[in-house]
Each structure stands twice: as C-alpha cells, then as structure tokens.
C-alpha cells in the first residue's frame, strides 16, 4: 500500500482538466520558444484576470529559474536584493542568485514576512560604495511558511521601494492559496498595483510545470527574452507551459484548485487544534507545521509522506501540505493516525 501524501503540492502529474487540455492540443503544430497561439491565449487570459493590459507575460519552467532570471534582469551588476532570512532565494535555491552575481541582504523574518520598517532601515544605512547597493526587494506570497501578506502590508512595502527607487518582486509560486485563503483582502487584479513584477505558479497549483511571470514595470521589459535564453529558460516547446495556464485560467480552475488545497488544510488544522496538537505557525493556507514527539513522527512515516522541518532531541516539527489532489479521506486517515 502506498503512503498517503502530505509531502508537498507538486507530487502529481497535473489536475485532470489540465491533462484533458493537453490531450486536446496533442495533434497540432506550434511555433517554438513561446511564440505560438497557445502562449498568446494564455497571456491574454492572465491579462484579463489582472484587468491590466500593459504588462508582459512570460512562461518559465520553474520557480528558482524564474527568480534568478527576473532578479538578474532587475538588478544592475553592482546591486543586491533584500529578502527575509527565511526567503526561498536565501535558503533553498543553492546560492542561485549569488551565482548570477548578486548578494542577498537578509532581513529578519516576521512569520516568514518582510517588514517595511526593516527594509526602510536597511536602505537608510546604505550610503557608501563599500556596502553593496540594494536594487530590489524580494518577497513570497504566500510565504515559505504558509503565511500571507495583507494588501496593506504589500502597499507599505511597495511604497518603501518606490520612495527609494528600488523594485519589488513577488514570488508567487503559491500565489493561488494566498489569494483564496480565509480572510484574504487581496484579488488577482490588485497584483499589478502592488509590485513591479510577480509570478503565478502552476507547478504547485495543479499544472504539470511552469510559472507565468508578469512584468508590470516598463523598465524591466526590454530584452527579457534575451535574458531568458541566456539562462537556459526559453523552452523550445514553450507551448507546453503556455498550455498549463490556458487551462488553469479557463473557468476559474486555478482558483478552484487553490481553494480546495486551503479547504483541506484548514479542515486538518482545525481538527488538529481540537486534538491539542501544537501548530508552530498560524498558517491560513495549504502548508501546516506541527510539532510532534520523535517517536510519533517515526510511526507516522510508515503510512504518510511529509517533510521534516526541524529536528530536535525529543520533538520534531513536520510540514503537512495539502494540494488539489488531497482527498477528505486522506485527512481522515491522518487525523486518525495522529
């Protein structure tokens, strides 16, 4: 019997609607490198969702790639990017930003989030050429620990960036669950007003692979396809990624899948709280973090797949992730085992 999966939100090939769409396009011939009608259609759908036309949409293969190509485009050769210490680019991308030549200045993480005052303080203290110049701020929505920025928090960060002449880039690998979470005051159509560039992740929200990068600020648009090609990010069959988004933004599939992930996770969260299980982070989205005795974790590993987040001598923090593919019966099984 195979394990019940709470390991991550990218364990399955793709949502059935996406696969159906791909079957449909399997007899066509398409232009290479994203210059095809599927990518065009997908970009149009995204612009409609954004209610914003003056932006460029590029389809990339994965999140780390999107982060590094976009930040390399944003930053001048002598510039650095500010991120929280727990930011994905700072800890889980193997030094990819630095490999493109740019320092990451780590700010304190407040439940995974960057605080506008911290950013302002950093920028105020950068006055000479011995300390690296900051050219952008990077944040994730939702964050690496499942938390979510409110609209006001994003506006504050954007204001600090604008006031200081730097750019704000939002990693939206898990943007869907952020938009659809309980109590969210953020809509997809707010995004272009809250940053200079951001992306909408498909890999972690029911697509087979890919991220749709949206460049809002005109400064950042020229020659972006050169930058993609140069970093090996311009797929010959760009239409494969375009297809994910054309499917996901048909009939609101993207939002439905995110909502399902959240619903499953919040149901699990609520019931774990009722059972008195310690949640280490108060996350409103599809990632939940709990602390368990080590022997309990060992026992769970027999029948469930999940990530170890922090290990200790007696207790272990594990991460439980729900996805579009998580079923109520999976939750039930896990709750029973807990």
Residue 166 C-beta: closest distance to its own copies, Å = 13
Interacting positions 244-263 with its own copies (CB under 8 A): none
Instruction: State yes or no: residue 12 binds its own copies (CB under 8 A).
Output: yes
Among 43, 175, 215, 233, binds its own copies (CB under 8 A): 233
Cα gap 169→157, rounded to integer Å = 11
CB-based burial of residue 110 (10 Å sphere; 0-12 exposed, 13-18 middle, 19+ buried)?
A: middle
Of 83, 99, 80, which Cα lies nearest the Cα of 143?
A: 83
Tell me how many residues contact its own copies (CB under 8 A): 80
Element containing residue 11 per DSSP (H, E): none
Nearer Cβ to its own copies (158/204): 204
Interacting positions 185-224 with its own copies (CB under 8 A): 203-204, 208-209, 223
Interacting positions 34-73 with its own copies (CB under 8 A): 61-69, 72-73
Residue 95 C-beta: closest distance to its own copies, Å = 4
The strand pairing partners of 2, in sequence order, are none
Instruction: State yes or no: residue 232 binds its own copies (CB under 8 A).
Output: yes
Give the tokens for residue 73.
């485009």
Nearer Cβ to its own copies (174/269): 174
The strand pairing partners of 289, in sequence order, are 319
* Radius of gyration of the chain, Cα coordinates, nearest whole angstrom: 20
Mark 270-309 with x for binding to its own copies (rule: CB under 8 A) and - for no binding.
Answer: -----------------------------------x----
Q: Tell how many helices (H) and how many strands (E) occur in the chain.
A: 14, 13
Stretch that binds its own copies, among 7-15, 43-51, 250-258, 275-283 (CB under 8 A): 7-15
Instruction: State yes or no: residue 93 binds its own copies (CB under 8 A).
Output: yes
Residue 103 C-beta: closest distance to its own copies, Å = 4
Instruction: State yes or no: residue 96 binds its own copies (CB under 8 A).
Output: yes
Nearer Cβ to its own copies (37/299): 37
Instruction: State yes or no: residue 234 binds its own copies (CB under 8 A).
Output: yes
**19: CB partners within 8 A, 6+ apart:** 13, 208
Of 104, 105, 115, which Cα lies nearest the Cα of 68?
A: 104
Strands (E), the chain: 4-5, 56-60, 79-84, 104-107, 133-140, 167-171, 197-201, 211-215, 278-279, 287-293, 304-305, 307-311, 315-321
Instruction: State yes or no: residue 7 binds its own copies (CB under 8 A).
Output: yes
Cα gap 289→283, rounded to integer Å = 8
Give the tokens for residue 44.
């149009």
Instruction: State yes or no: residue 226 binds its own copies (CB under 8 A).
Output: yes
Cα gap 124→122, rounded to integer Å = 5
Residue 214 C-beta: closest distance to its own copies, Å = 18
Residue 90 C-beta: closest distance to its own copies, Å = 9
Would you tell me the crossing angle of helices 328-337 and 253-274 to the nearest 10 degrees?
20
Residue 330 C-beta: closest distance to its own copies, Å = 10
Instruction: State yes or no: residue 17 binds its own copies (CB under 8 A).
Output: no
Stretch that binds its own copies, among 78-86, 145-153, 183-191, 271-279 (CB under 8 A): 78-86
Stretch that binds its own copies, among 108-116, 143-151, 232-240, 295-303 (CB under 8 A): 232-240
Instruction: State yes or no: residue 95 binds its own copies (CB under 8 A).
Output: yes
Instruction: State yes or no: residue 236 binds its own copies (CB under 8 A).
Output: yes
Cα gap 337→202, rounded to integer Å = 31
Stretch that binds its own copies, among 128-136, 149-157, 185-193, 289-297 (CB under 8 A): 128-136
């Amino acid at each position: 019997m195979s394990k019940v999966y709470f390991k991550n939100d990218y364990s399955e090939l793709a949502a059935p609607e996406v696969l159906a769409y791909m079957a449909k396009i399997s007899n066509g011939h398409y232009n290479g490198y994203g210059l095809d009608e599927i990518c065009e259609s997908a970009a149009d759908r995204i612009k409609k969702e954004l209610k914003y036309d003056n932006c460029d949409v590029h389809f990339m293969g994965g999140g780390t790639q999107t982060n590094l190509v976009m930040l390399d485009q944003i930053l001048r050769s002598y510039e650095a990017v500010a991120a929280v210490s727990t930011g994905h680019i700072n800890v889980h991308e193997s030094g990819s930003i630095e490999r493109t030549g740019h320092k990451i200045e780590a700010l304190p993480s407040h439940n995974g989030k960057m605080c506008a005052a911290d950013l302002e303080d950093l920028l105020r203290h950068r006055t000479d050429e011995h300390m690296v110049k900051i050219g952008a701020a990077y944040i994730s929505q939702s964050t690496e620990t499942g938390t979510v920025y409110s609209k006001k928090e994003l506006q504050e960060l954007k204001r600090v960036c604008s006031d200081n002449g730097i750019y704000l880039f939002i990693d939206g690998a898990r943007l869907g669950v952020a938009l659809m979470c309980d109590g969210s005051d953020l809509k997809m159509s707010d995004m272009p007003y809250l940053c200079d560039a951001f992306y909408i992740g498909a890999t972690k929200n029911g697509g087979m692979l890919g991220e749709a990068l949206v460049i809002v600020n005109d400064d950042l648009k020229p020659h972006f396809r050169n930058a993609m090609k140069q970093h090996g990010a311009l797929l010959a069959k760009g239409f494969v990624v375009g297809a994910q988004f054309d499917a996901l933004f048909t009939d609101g599939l993207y939002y439905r899948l995110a909502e399902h992930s959240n619903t499953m996770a919040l149901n699990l969260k609520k019931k774990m709280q009722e059972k008195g299980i310690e949640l280490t982070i108060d996350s409103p989205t599809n990632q939940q973090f709990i602390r368990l005795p080590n022997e309990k974790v060992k026992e769970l590993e027999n029948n469930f797949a999940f990530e170890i987040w922090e290990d200790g001598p007696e207790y272990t923090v594990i991460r439980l992730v729900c996805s579009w593919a998580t079923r109520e019966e999976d939750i039930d099984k896990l709750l029973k085992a807990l």
